[in-house]
Each structure stands twice: as structure tokens, then as C-alpha cells.
Amino acid sequence: MRVRDIGEFELIGHLAETLGALDRGPRLRVAIGDDAAAWDSPAGMTVLSTDTMVEGVHFNRDRTSWRDLGWKAMAVNLSDVAAMGCSPGYSVVTLGLHGGLPVDGLKEMYLGMADACRRFGGAAVGGDVVRSPVFFVTVAMTGMAGDGDTPLLLRGAARPGDQVAVTGSLGGSAGGLRMLAEGPVLDDKTGSYLRDAHNRPAPRVSEGAILRRDGVLAAIDISDGLVADLDKLCEASGVGAVVRSGLLPVDARLKAAFPQDWLSLALSGGEDYELLFTAPPRTMESAISALEIPSAIVGDIVAAPRGVSVLDRDGRPVAVERGGWDHFRDSPDPSRAGRQDQA
Amino acid sequence: MRVRDIGEFELIGHLAETLGALDRGPRLRVAIGDDAAAWDSPAGMTVLSTDTMVEGVHFNRDRTSWRDLGWKAMAVNLSDVAAMGCSPGYSVVTLGLHGGLPVDGLKEMYLGMADACRRFGGAAVGGDVVRSPVFFVTVAMTGMAGDGDTPLLLRGAARPGDQVAVTGSLGGSAGGLRMLAEGPVLDDKTGSYLRDAHNRPAPRVSEGAILRRDGVLAAIDISDGLVADLDKLCEASGVGAVVRSGLLPVDARLKAAFPQDWLSLALSGGEDYELLFTAPPRTMESAISALEIPSAIVGDIVAAPRGVSVLDRDGRPVAVERGGWDHFRDSPDPSRAGRQDQA
């Protein structure tokens, strides 16, 4: 059996099984299968997350500037820490480099990382530089949970009766990717919105902390797409979800640029790095009102059926590609624009 | 200016300069330029280290089994934490995978990681799986400093008058690599010693803790080779060093297998993952006697000249390749067997 013969989720299942059979001590709270690992320490809970961007897979230097690449490499990790409801701490950066890369570009990239940290917290404090025929950037980021009595935001904590909500708006990053690949849209203002949505995502760090403080228990960040990530949350929680497509928050500029496709971009596009969270209605109301950015309730958690259904205004099912982006199969559908399909 | 136009050290200098100009808060104790980053937390000092192995650069699956690969990926990180005098904590693993890799091999690799953690401490608790045309394994490992009043082992703490010592013996890993590349040596017992030296290095975790407890201040682990790593330590400390080649601890099996080359393997081979440490004579004596494995004094730290000189029994200079393995230049000397030259 090769990696390509099974999907990403099955592969992770195999690896988690191997890891899970090992004794890892009583302090471990969250292991493989959430946005970050977490454990108790005398300082409170500590989280550790890592995320990688590989050239030609997760980014393309024709479409993403060096500075934006640094921002994004840091932002995707900040988003993981945010999705646990934690504050970003120090991080280490691994660069896999070949000789042809420009040194000034790499310095620009570090400045982009610093830009993101200045705005959202954390700091890069070391790392490793290795030779690699393929350029990649890996960040490993610690985070602090602060008040250890307040539960972390977890994928496995959604319950039937919860409402499902998302911060910000959806599909902009995938729209930006499509524009960068296929050419300009409408006007410069729309183009610049879409480009920034793709290249300079805003991880929801303060929002994650507010949600956790205000009693939300379940969250995940949207990296592979609303439906794919909600599916992971449902799987981890042993529940199902119904999403109402009419409730999805979609920016008017995305709708204008892609009048045919905005819904599919919003449902499956990925890389929005918004938070997807669930809570009972009363908790949801107070949590949403505490946030400083708009958030939208988009559906409900149900006991059955498992998985995610999307319904239109008339209650009819909307066809959606399922299962998240499958990173390893040989023939990906090139129309998908998930995190693994940016090259 | 491209990465290939400057060496690894100059590149890291550029990146460190970019990072160093940023404010990273008062809690940071050690940043880029040591074996790990370190910062204060209410739980004591925390360290974070990361190390990567790229197929074709740092390993070759013809020469290293899956289980050994897992062991080694964990061991090189354990060695970084050991070189700070800290205890290994939780770690996250990033796998860059292409579709052709065998799932059973990856599971074996995880078991190898668990083998290393069972013996030396720490545990893998999560990570990330990404698609990559080149297979790589990155581990990011936290460590705890325990008693925060005891200084960490640092590269920059060597002083003139210190003696220079190493744990264990040198050159075995490079000898093993040469054997794996060029064919069997002598007998099976020698072969198995050399293979294990290369594929299952023993990070000096308990030794690092003892050295720190007993007053040693300066250490680095030997990944690029004795001379190259001592050179880094001297550079960080603003001192020079004299190594006596007659004092180098070299296993009799390595000498027997490579009667012409054992000295150069011991001086420049790399990947031994022994600790190289310095201390004034009295501290050195008590530290060495506290260790449960043999250690050898191999030279002295001097105020000038800077850099590392190697002298033979008669006090004549021994020619050594300098400056560490240069990962990025286009025409590496294929006779070198440093960490970056295993493919």
C-alpha cells in the first residue's frame, strides 16, 4: 500500500494509530488530530503546532511575493494556535533551500513573518536551514493557553443542538488564487481584495481567545474549505452538520468577480483561515456579539446523519465535493482550489 | 546574490540579522545561532529546537531502514536539546510525502521515533502531513531546562583556559556512511558497529544534563564534524581552540576498517551526535568523572588565534578541511562525509 492508494485522512489514521499505541505521559491533553498538540505544564497549558508550505504545492513564487510568503507561512501557524483559543508564542522556522534562491528574497520573507507577528503576536526565534531540491518553509509554533481552567477550543467538542458559525467571509482566498492563475477580474480594487485574501490571510487570533473565554468549546480553522473542515470537526465530534448555503458570508466583491462560482469557492475553496466554531444558541449569541469582526451562523450540528449536508434556501441539497482536499492521490481535480492545490 | 553564492554561515548571518532587528520580548534568552531557542516561562526555561532530514540530502532509503530513519530523525533533535543541557519534551513531526511512499514504511518510521523516545525521553504528539515532490521529515522538539538558575549549555560560553572535551568516540558515523556507500569492511561485527553508528546515533541526553548540573557552561553537539562544530563554538564565544589529534577518542573498529582515513573521519566526519564541551580544568575533571560514558579531553580553548588548529603528537599542524560542510555551494567535495553529504 502506497501513500497514493489511501487518502490523507486514512494515512493520518494509520500514523495516529501507531503513535497512539505509545505511552506519552499523563500531562498530554491533545495529540494528533487537532489543530495543535497540547499539554499541561506548571505555566498552564502549552500548545505546539506546525505547518509547512512547499513550493509548487502550497505556493508559487509567480503569484506570491517573498514578503507575502513570509506572512502566510506565519499566518497559517498563527491560525492553528488561534483555533485552539490560545496566544501565539515563540516559533522556529525551517527552510529547505536550494542554491538558486535569492538571498534578498529570503530576507524579505523573514520581514513578512515579522509583519504577521507584529500584528497577531508571536515571534520567530530560531530554526534550521537545510539543503533541499524543493524549496519549503516549515514553522513550528508554541502557544500558551493562559487560564488552564478554561477548556481549549477542540475539534471534538461539537454537540447536537449547537449552531455552526464562521468568522469573516468565505471563498476570497480561493477566488484570489483563481484570479492569480487565470488573469485579472473586474477592477483593481476587486483584484487587490482577492489577492490579499489569498496572500495575506488574517489569522483570527484575538477572536479565538474571545470565543474560548466566552464558553465556545468547538472550533477549527478553515484551511481546506468550509465543508472539508466542518467534516473533520464532525468526524472528531461524532456528529453531523447541516449548512444553509443562503447563510454563507460572502464578500460582494467575490460575488461580482465570480458570479457563477462564488458559492462553490465559499464552500470548498479553502485557505480562508477563518474560524469555524459551534456552540449552543445562547452561548453563540453572546460569543458572536463579543467579537469585533462580523461572524455568521451558517448551520446546525445534528446527531444524524453524520457528515455535512449543504441545503439551499428551498431546503434542497447542494452538491459539494466532499472529503477535503486529498493531498496524495495521483489525479486531483484541478478545478479544486484547496490548500493543497495552489501550484 | 543567490544562496549558492554565499556559504551556509553567511546565509544564517543574513537571516539572523533580519530577525535580530525585531523586538522579541524580554523573556527570550537564546535565539538563532545556538542548538535551540530558549525563553523563560513560569515553568522554568523552555527550549525549542528543530531539525530536518531530506531524502537524497540527509538520508538515502537504500542505506537507512525505515525504523532507523525514524530513530535518527528523533535522535538529531534529542541531540540538540541535550546540547543545551535540557530534558526532551513533546515534539511535532512534519512529513513531506509523495504518493509513491509505502504506508507501512511510514508506520515503521514512527515506531523508530518511539524507540528513540523510549530510550532518551520525549514523545511525538502531533504534526502535519503535506504533499511534497521530495520526501522530508522535520521534527520540532520542546525541552525543559528544569532548574532555571543553572545556566544552559551555550555555544558562546567558552573561555580561554577552558579544556575541550568530547563524549564517546568520533568518526564512527562517517565511517558507517562510507561503508554503506562503498561496500563491506572487514567483518560483520565491525560492519554492524559502523552501521549503527551511522543509522542509530545515541544522543547524549543524560550526559548533557549532568554536564550542566556540574558547572559546564559551553557545549554543542557534533553534527557537522568535530572541527566544524568546534569552529562554530569558537566563533560564538570569540575564542580559538587547539585540538591534539593524538587525544581524539576513536574506536578501534573504525581504525581497523579505515587505517588510512580514520583521523580525517574523526575530525571532519560529522553526525556523531556526541557532545563537545569546554570548561576550566577543575570543573572539567569533576564533570567527566560524573559521566557514565567515557569522555576525552582533546584540546584547549585559547584567546588567539581565532578558529581551530589541529596539532599532531609532535606539535605539527594537521591539515583539516575547514568551515563546516557548506550545504549550498554547487560543487561540494564528494569526499566529505558531513551531515549534508549522506546521499
8 Å CB contact of A90 and B124: no
The model's confidence at residue B33, banded by pLDDT at 50, 70 and 90, is: low
Whole-angstrom Cα distance, residue A280 to residue A259? 34
Query: Do the domain assignments include residue B163?
Result: yes
Residue A125, min C-alpha distance to chain B (Å): 5
Looking at per-residue pLDDT, the higher value among B205 and A337 belongs to: B205
Same domain, yes or no: A255 and A186: yes
Query: Do the domain assignments include residue A251?
Result: yes
Query: Do the domain assignments include residue B167?
Result: yes
Beta bridge partners of A243: A299, A310
Looking at per-residue pLDDT, the higher value among A19 and A160 belongs to: A160
8 Å CB contact of B28 and A125: yes
Looking at per-residue pLDDT, the higher value among B343 and A119 belongs to: A119
Percent of chain B predicted with pLDDT > 90: 73
Instruction: Answer whether residue B157 shows pLDDT above 70.
Output: yes
**Could you report the per-residue pLDDT of B272-328, keeping only the tens digit for each?**
999 999 999 999 999 999 999 999 999 999 999 999 999 999 999 998 865 444 556
Query: Do the domain assignments include residue A338?
Result: no
Nearest residue in A to B77, CA atom:
A128
Task: Give the three-class secondary structure for A211.
Answer: helix
Same domain, yes or no: A295 and A189: yes
The predicted pLDDT at position A85 comes to 95
Same domain, yes or no: A109 and A56: yes
Residue A76 forms contact with B (CB below 8 Å): no
The predicted pLDDT at position B326 comes to 58
Instruction: Answer whether residue A25 shows pLDDT above 80.
Output: no
Residue B115, min C-alpha distance to chain A (Å): 10
Chain A residues with CB inside 8 Å of B341's CB? Answer: none
As a residue count, chain A comes to: 343
Query: Do the domain assignments include residue A30?
Result: no
Residue B158, min C-alpha distance to chain A (Å): 21
Cell numbers given for A32: 494528533
CATH number at residue A307: 3.90.650.10
DSSP string, A121-179: --EEEEEEEEE-SS-EEEEEEEEE-SSTTSPPPBGGG--TT-EEEEES-SSHHHHHHHH
Residue A343 forms contact with B (CB below 8 Å): no
Query: Do the domain assignments include residue A331?
Result: no
The predicted pLDDT at position A104 comes to 93
Same domain, yes or no: A124 and A176: no
Instruction: Answer whether residue B75 shows pLDDT above 60.
Output: yes
Tell me the pTM.
0.90
The predicted pLDDT at position B146 comes to 83
8 Å CB contact of B2 and A129: no
Place of cell 468577480: A257
Number of domains in chain B: 1
Instruction: Answer whether residue A21 shows pLDDT above 80.
Output: no
Mark residue B324 as left, alpha or beta (left: phi above 0; alpha: psi -120 to 50; beta: remaining).
Answer: left
Task: Calculate mean pLDDT across residues B27-42.
Answer: 74
Domain membership of residue A168 as a residue range: 155-311
Q: Which of A4, A50, A107 has the CB atom closest to B100's CB atom? A: A4
Residue A327, min C-alpha distance to chain B (Å): 6
Residue A74 forms contact with B (CB below 8 Å): no
The predicted pLDDT at position A327 comes to 58
Same domain, yes or no: A135 and A174: no
Same domain, yes or no: A138 and A250: no
Find out whether B98 and B130 touch, Cβ atoms under 8 Å. Answer: no
Same domain, yes or no: A219 and A93: no
Query: Do the domain assignments include residue A301?
Result: yes
Query: Do the domain assignments include residue B144?
Result: no
Whole-angstrom Cα distance, residue A178 to residue A196? 13
Task: Calculate mean pLDDT across residues A247-266.
Answer: 96
**Could you report the per-residue pLDDT of B77-110, keeping only the tens digit for each?**
999 999 999 999 999 999 999 999 999 999 999 9
Same domain, yes or no: A115 and A217: no
ipTM for the assembly: 0.89
Same domain, yes or no: A186 and A252: yes
**Could you report the per-residue pLDDT of A274-318, keeping only the tens digit for each?**
999 999 999 999 999 999 999 999 999 999 999 999 999 999 999
